[in-house]
A and B are shown apart, each in its own frame.
Chain A
Amino acid sequence: MQNKLHFINILGQGSGAHRKEDPDSFEYTLPAEITSIYPLTATEKLYQIQIIDPAQRNRFSFQPGQFVMLELPGIGEAPFSISSSPVRHGDLELCIRAVGNFTNFLNRVERGARVGISGPFGTSFPLEKMQGNDILLIGGGLGIVPLRSPLLAVLENRSRYGRVDIMYGAKSPAELLFTYQYEEWKRFDINLGITVDKADKSWKGRTGLITELLRERIAQASSLRENTYAIVCGPPVMFHFVCKMLTEAGLPMQKMFVSLERRMHCGRGKCCRCNIGSTYTCLDGPVFDYWSVMNLKEAI
């Protein structure tokens, strides 16, 4: 029997601290609770999700732009951008559209439901670097969701940034998200431009493409080459036109950041589903500077 091979227990080598390099962290989810649900439109809701253990909640720290994996046992696990401010730690807000199997189930879940959170994952918007500069936040449709976290972080430290412009476009007034917060945001000395593709009878705002808003903003400055950063998020077609306009206006590619969407099953660079060429959207993204995106085949 002496040649019975020694069994190696890899979990015995882990620290038990659930750091990302520990093998035992891979399927570890933080128990969390949905503390409130606000319907925003017919299909989107804002879920407030709190990590139950107070110590874990305080230790949970993320940067704007990162995402979490949300798990419902037996239903699935899916990635969602964090929409809340990083100062709130493990008191998260996720804005989710009911569109697939997981999110349609979530749509029926009630307050108090237990969920699992893992993460945060991925790269973030470099807000530190952006301090002292003007900031353009450009979102189309659901693209406003990942923009809300950097926006709130900027508003909390408003004096550290120059001029802040938000440009937000949606298909119709009924699809606009976070409408209840617009007045609050404006109090922080920001320029909020909102446009819809198709107006309804009650709509008094602008109609047209987001590129129109951007064209007006660009016309107000001689060049975007100095002191400006942009964060862009929206459908692939919007990236194409907006990033092109910004580049033509002189904004350097490494000062323009985008957040990309891809299918993800693990969030940890293992399932390959989010791969773009050589890059994992979950590890090297979802936030990329425009130079990296230009360098990636089939990114946008």
Chain B
Amino acid sequence: MIFKVFKKQELARLYELLAVNVIVGPVSRGNDRNGNPLYDFDVVYDFDELALDYTQTVHSPKRFVLPYQETLATFTTSPGGWEKHVDLNVYRPLVFFGMHACDINALNKLDLVLAQSTYPNPYYMGKRKNLFIIGIDCTPEPQCFCRSMGTDSAIHGFDLFLTDLGGKYFTEILTATAFDLLSEIKCTDPSSKELALYKHTAKEKSKRYTATVDTSDLTKILDLEFESKAWDAWGDKCLSCGTCANVCPTCYCYGVEEHVDLDLQHASKTKFLHSCNLIDFAKVAGGHNFRPTSASRLKYRYYHKHRGFVEAFEESLCVGCGRCGTACLADITPPEVIASVRGKE
């Protein structure tokens, strides 16, 4: 990997160079009911709109690659039959300005199942391949357990990654496009002092994690504790609302609905992101529900993230961002659920 260093004021210049493209980044969204600042990702039109010192966005960046609602196909019907028209809804490249490591890793995990497996999903791939990602370092929040999940730093899946060294940004460069771009701003090779500062910053960051999840032998524990009473207790708390999946950067489940237009000559097929906690998730025609209880659905969510995905791809589907726990209306957090299933209070 190639490293460069540039002064902070050069970042606005970098933004201007990229501004011919659509830019998405973290923006401020007021405060929550406790007075804490809220952030979200959105399209920005000016460098000053970016809140690069954001703590964590409420929603993950996934809606830019997996929209909550997306038209998969449209149909034109005629007396003799019908035609299907497919549009991948990819129109232009997108610059993502300021993505944290956990979210970069989340996209890498989504790639495994959506782009690198049998039947690659072109709606996802088209958007994903047209992302230019500038990563930025973060300060661990109380809910962050990314370190436990091994996703506290990103080693691929971005173009540039910025680390704040006070007055300068330390930059990791992963792609030729990013390298060419940096040649247009004033940047230098890192000095030994800057390298030392970068390493020191990383070390200091690692000391600031408070939430942890014990992932040792977790796949086996989840099998062994499949009948554990702990699931029922969490199931009783869970509202089956699906908020966790909504904010999760790696939840990709969906349902498909089709609609006929008023003229009866056109129809559409639309995908809606779903959640395995919603009551009808596994209900089949005829009425049988394979997961009728809240506990069975909540358990399945953990089982898929920490057991099933590991078996299929050798890594967990959780990046430890903690958004689900923060957003949960019943205060259910993964560190607590996993600890209780392990039998730790």
Using CB atoms and an 8 Å cutoff, list the residues of chain A in contact with chain B: 1, 3-11, 20-21, 23-29, 31, 72-78, 97, 99-103, 114, 116, 236, 261-263, 265-266, 268-273, 275, 277-279, 283, 297-298
Contact = CB atoms under 8 A, between A and B. Distances in A.
Nearest to B22: A5
B129 interface: yes
Contact of A26 (B119, B296, B304): B119
B86 A6 contact: no
Q: What secondary structure prevails in chain A residues at the interface with B?
A: loop
A277 B296 CA distance: 11
B17 interface: yes
Contacts of A99: 285-286
A131 to B, nearest CB: 28
A170 to B, nearest CB: 15
A76 B260 CA distance: 10
B48 to A, nearest CB: 20
A4 B21 contact: yes
Which has the most chain A C-beta neighbours within 10 Å: B81, B132, B181?
B81
A75 B257 CA distance: 8
B122 interface: yes
Interface size class of B (residues with CB under 8 A): 35 or more
A27 B77 CA distance: 17
A73 B267 contact: yes
Nearest to B284: A263
24 contacts: A1-B20, A3-B20, A4-B20, A5-B177, A8-B93, A10-B125, A21-B120, A23-B125, A23-B126, A24-B122, A27-B72, A73-B260, A74-B268, A75-B260, A77-B269, A97-B286, A99-B285, A263-B283, A265-B254, A266-B254, A270-B254, A271-B255, A278-B310, A298-B291
Contacts of A114: 80-82
Nearest to A29: B84
A149 B274 CA distance: 34
Contacts of A11: 88, 122, 126
A75 B88 CA distance: 21
Nearest to B86: A27
What 3 A-B pairs are tightest by C-beta distance, nearest first? A74-B267, A100-B285, A278-B308
A197 B113 CA distance: 44
Nearest to B226: A297
Nearest to B303: A277
Contacts of A4: 20-21
Given A265-B255, A273-B253, A102 B285 contact: yes
Contacts of B114: 270
B58 to A, nearest CB: 23
A278 B312 contact: yes
B109 interface: no
A271 B253 CA distance: 5
A75 B258 contact: yes
A68 B8 CA distance: 56
B92 A7 contact: yes
Interface string B296-334: 100010011001111110000000000000000000000
A116 B84 contact: yes
